Amino acid sequence: MTPQELKNSILQLAIQGKLVEQRPEEGTGDELYKRIQAEKQKLIKDGKLKKEKPLPEIAEDEIPFEIPENWKWVHLSDLGEIVGGGTPKTGDPSLWDDDGIPWLTPADMKNIRGMYASHGERNISQTGLAKSSAQLMPKGTVLYSSRAPIGYIAIAANDICTNQGFKSLVPANTEINKYMYYCLIARTDDIKARASGTTFKEISGAGFGATLVPLPPLGEQKRIVAKIEELLPLVERYGEAWTKLEEFNKKFPDDMKKSILQQAIQGKLVEQRPEEGTGEELYQQIQAEKQKLIKAGKLKKEKPLLEITQDEIPFEIPESWKWVHLNSIATTSLGKTINKTKDTGDMVSYLCSINIYWTGIDLATIKQTAFSEEEKKKYSLRKGDLLICEGGDIGRAAVWSGNEEMYYQNALHRVRFYCDIDPQFYRYLFECYKYSGRLDQAGKGVTIQHLVQKELYGLWIPLPPLAEQKRIVAKIEEILPLCEKLK
């Protein structure tokens, strides 16, 4: 149950007579009603309230819910006068006065904390009051916004007036105003249901006055208010705890995913098996393959990067793994620079950063341009190539697994491993590096970040044995769908 649902439940129980017990010695709602009518007639006679046309008796089928026998259903207008408001001409300074009469708008009600309202942003002058439909209402009036939106509510802490966005209850007996404050909060859904309008909904004065409200004896009203005010701070505390729990639950799936990936690249997600060999052995196989490519003229010999030092190690890995630079196990290259006005050759499809997502490669929008035969050889993709975004959301990566002919542009790095490597393992590694900020730290640029080739080359990455890479990927892909379900 949300905090708002709990509050609504408490208020509903309150106006159904289920929050506190009934006490015969406190009298009945009908007795209070007759007393209020007597007080109302006296105020009308004294010119303090306007006489209104009485509403029809409440029919049995109109009653929205059961109330105790000693309570009474009444119309809101039976309890006092329903008063609207108005706005003086804004361009006439004589109608406004910083030290004048407090004047409220529904917008002012957003800033009111608690039950009472004493003023809004602006005050009107006596002339403004006289020359507009605004009416001065006494302290204790129950203020209720009737449009934009319906349902802001407060009790006037002093004499006050409002704009036309209110229908307020000036009660014949101000002792009932606190109970009516909570009662009207509980009855707001009913009031909104009876509102009309196209641009925005509004409840008319007659519609507001016709609102059915349950009237308990005055002593019980006071006990109801006391019980509500005892419970609401507990609801507020519950709300704080609920909000924290919601934030935790919202973050938990992503935090769990980050933790899983971190565990994976640290060698903590699956066990190490001696029979699967070591990262060093796999590294030596890769170097042998690399030397063959150099000897065959398919690869240029590069200056070796420095060995990793103890203070460069980003995290601990198993003894059977090895720290390596990316370019020691793979060749990387940026794709073609697209210039459609100068490109010549066959029209072909190519991938760019809008196609690359952590969840995979999206082929819904594929661009085309002319590639020469030489460019097609240089920028073609093979199954198992890892594609990494060079700019924007740098480091976002996905593995090309398609069989169709496809090329790539210079917004992407293509990583092609020299021999058997599970590219998905390194796709997950890049996602983990993204979460940890390691990729953003490697980015260059002020307005737009770029993952330049040199920085990509120089990334330290762990190298597990191939079989363990595959088991790690299998375990990740078994667990991550459960994280998604948690969302």
> What is the token pair recorded at 339?
């210039």
User: Residue range 43-63: average pLDDT?
Assistant: 87
Of 184, 148, 183, 188, whose CA–CA distance to 166 is shortest? Answer: 148
The topology (CATH level 3) of 273-474 is Adenine-n6-DNA-methyltransferase TaqI; Chain A, domain 2 (3.90.220)
* Partner residues linked to 82 by β-bridges: 169
Query: How would DSSP label each residue in 383-429?
Result: TT-EEEE-BSSTT-EEE----S--EEBTTEEEEEESSS--HHHHHHH
Query: How would DSSP label each residue in 244-287?
Result: HHHHHHHHHHHHHHHHHHHHHHTT-SS---GGG--HHHHHHHHH
Judge whether 414 and 385 are in contact, CB under 8 Å: yes
- Where in the chain are the domains? 3-237, 273-474
User: How remote is the C-alpha of 160 from its chain's centroid?
Assistant: 37
Residues 6+ apart with CB under 8 A from 356: 362, 387, 388, 389, 396, 397, 398, 412
Of 401, 407, 404, 398, whose CA–CA distance to 372 is shortest? Answer: 407
Q: Is 330 helix (H, G, I), strand (E, B) or coil?
A: strand
Which span out of 182-186, 238-242, 375-379 was modeled with the highest average pLDDT? 182-186
Pairing of strands 168-171, 407-408: unpaired
Please check the confidence at residue 36 and state whether its pLDDT lies above 90.
yes
The topology (CATH level 3) of 3-237 is Adenine-n6-DNA-methyltransferase TaqI; Chain A, domain 2 (3.90.220)
- Residue whose tokens read 């085309």: 368
Which span out of 28-32, 249-253, 458-462 was modeled with the highest average pLDDT? 28-32
Task: Give the integer Cα–Cα distance in Å for 355 and 441.
Answer: 24
Average pLDDT, the chain: 92
User: Residue range 43-69: average pLDDT?
Assistant: 89
pLDDT band at 482 (very low <50, low <70, confident <90, very high): confident
Alpha carbon separation from 367 to 51, 347, 370, 371, 386 (Å, rounded): 76, 10, 11, 12, 19
pLDDT band at 51 (very low <50, low <70, confident <90, very high): confident
pLDDT of residue 305: 65
pLDDT of residue 456: 87
Judge whether 403 and 383 are in contact, CB under 8 Å: yes
Please check the confidence at residue 457 and state whether its pLDDT lies above 90.
no
* More confidently predicted of 120 and 308: 120
pLDDT band at 487 (very low <50, low <70, confident <90, very high): low
Dihedral angle of Cα 340, 346, 351, 353, to the nearest 10 degrees: -10
Please check the confidence at residue 302 and state whether its pLDDT lies above 80.
no
User: Residue range 196-200: average pLDDT?
Assistant: 86
User: Residue range 120-137: average pLDDT?
Assistant: 95
> What is the token pair recorded at 387?
């594609």
Residue range 425-453, pLDDT digits in tens: 999 999 999 998 888 888 887 777 888 88
Please check the confidence at residue 362 and state whether its pLDDT lies above 90.
yes
pLDDT band at 455 (very low <50, low <70, confident <90, very high): confident
Task: Give the integer Cα–Cα distance in Å for 167 and 142.
Answer: 9
Please check the confidence at residue 184 and state whether its pLDDT lies above 70.
yes
Give yes or no on whether 3-237 and 273-474 have one common fold: yes
Of 388, 378, 380, 370, whose CA–CA distance to 404 is shortest? Answer: 380
Judge whether 54 and 151 are in contact, CB under 8 Å: no
Task: Give the integer Cα–Cα distance in Å for 383 and 399.
Answer: 8
H-state helical runs in 137-176:
none
pLDDT of residue 465: 96
pLDDT of residue 454: 85
